[in-house]
Amino acid sequence: MTTITYSTPEPAQQSIWHRYRVGSRLQSVGAHAILLIYLMIAIFPVVLVIMNSFKSRQAIFRNPYALPTPETFSLAGFETVFSRGNFPLYFVNSLIVTLGAMFLIILCGAMVAFALSEYSFRGNTLLGLYFALGIMIPIRLGTVSLLRIIVSLGLINTHLGLILVYTASGLPLAVFVLSNFMKQVPRDLKDAARVDGASEYRIFWMVLPLVRPALGTVMVFNMIPIWNDLWFPLILAPAENVKTVTLGAQTFLGQFVNDWNAVLASLTLAMVPIIILYILLSRQLIRGLTAGAIK
């Protein structure tokens, strides 16, 4: 009968292991501290806007960092937004432009990404690099040319003009992200569908649910800039009937007097869709970013 003896770690090994554990904990604490500081810096302006939107004008200037109290609480800004401004129309316009652009970005971007990742043809890599260059070059550099094109097409002061511009600006990122994810879909799965007689369009729609994290990432990274954009609505669609939320909020800013209650209230209302979108897509966004980092 054999006996098994266990040797205890030497003091030197215990000391090294202890230092390693302490160092790992310190690194974890330091990383979390940095992330918390960044979170406070990022969320502070948002919280400040929301707090002051529910305060009277005097309270905003007296102490902008204080929470609303029963004495300082006021809904004057929201009343002004809905009485003087045409906020429901601005909100609907932003919704139409954003959803329309997102639909085209996802549809066209997914089709291009599927073609680049699935088929080998001459110029495949060059075409992928061409789309990737669109991420590096700001679309605002071509504002004058875009304005000429929109005017020549008769799309000035229309939702369609803004939708097309935002679609062009969002396609490079969509193609870049989706093509990398579609390359990870097992080819055997697509070949099996072809053997069963599925068409290429059927295979395309079959692949889309498999890249949901990438779709969520593309939606978040494109919808937020489109919804918050002021540049192109100001240049391409300044008419009252097609104003977006961000442009409509400028109506409360005058040359000599600014209605800060209404401005902060309109900004608070404009945040609601973005917050809802992030809550709905946060899991897909995190999965997409994590998978992209690993791959």
Q: What is the pLDDT of residues 78-94, one digit of tens each?
A: 888 887 778 888 889 99
Whether 290 shows a pLDDT value over 80: the answer reads: no
Higher pLDDT, 282 or 12: 282
Position 105 scores a pLDDT of: 94
For the beta carbon of residue 204, count every other beta carbon within 10 angstroms: 18
Q: Would the pLDDT of 6 be above 50?
A: no
Q: Is the pLDDT of residue 254 over 80?
A: no
**What mean pLDDT do residues 44-64 have?**
87
Q: What percentage of the chain carries pLDDT values higher than 90? A: 17
In sign, the C-alpha dihedral spanning 52, 56, 57, 60 is: negative
- Kindly report each contact of residues 146-151 with a partner whose C-beta sits within 8 Å and lies 24 or more positions away, as own/partner: 146/232, 146/236, 147/235, 147/236, 150/236
Q: What is the mean pLDDT of the chain?
A: 82
Contact by Cβ (8 Å): 49, 65: no
**pLDDT(71) > 50:** yes
Predicted local distance difference test score (pLDDT) of residue 16: 66
Per-residue confidence (pLDDT) for residue 291, from 0 to 100 = 57
Q: In the prediction, which pLDDT does 293 show?
A: 47
Looking at residues 199-220, what average pLDDT do you find? 85
Q: Which residue has the higher pLDDT, 11 or 28?
A: 28
pLDDT score for 93: 92
Pick the CATH number of 76-294 from 3.40.50.720, 1.10.3720.10, 3.40.190.10, 3.50.50.60: 1.10.3720.10
**Tokens for 6?**
């266990």
Among residues 250, 276, 273, which one has the least CA distance to residue 96?
A: 273
Percentage of residues in the chain having pLDDT higher than 70? 86
Averaged over 4-27, what is the pLDDT? 63
Q: Is the pLDDT of residue 204 over 70?
A: yes
Which amino acid, residue 177? V
0.85 exceeded by the pTM? Answer: no
Over 50: is that where the pLDDT of 3 sits? yes
Q: Is pLDDT of 266 > 60? A: yes
Find the range with the poorest average confidence among 136-150, 193-207, 278-292. 278-292
Q: Of residues 32 and 23, which shows the higher confidence score?
A: 32
- What mean pLDDT is predicted for residues 156-176? 92
Overall average pLDDT of the 164-170 stretch: 93
pLDDT of residue 156: 92
Per-residue confidence band for 166, with pLDDT thresholds at 50, 70 and 90: very high
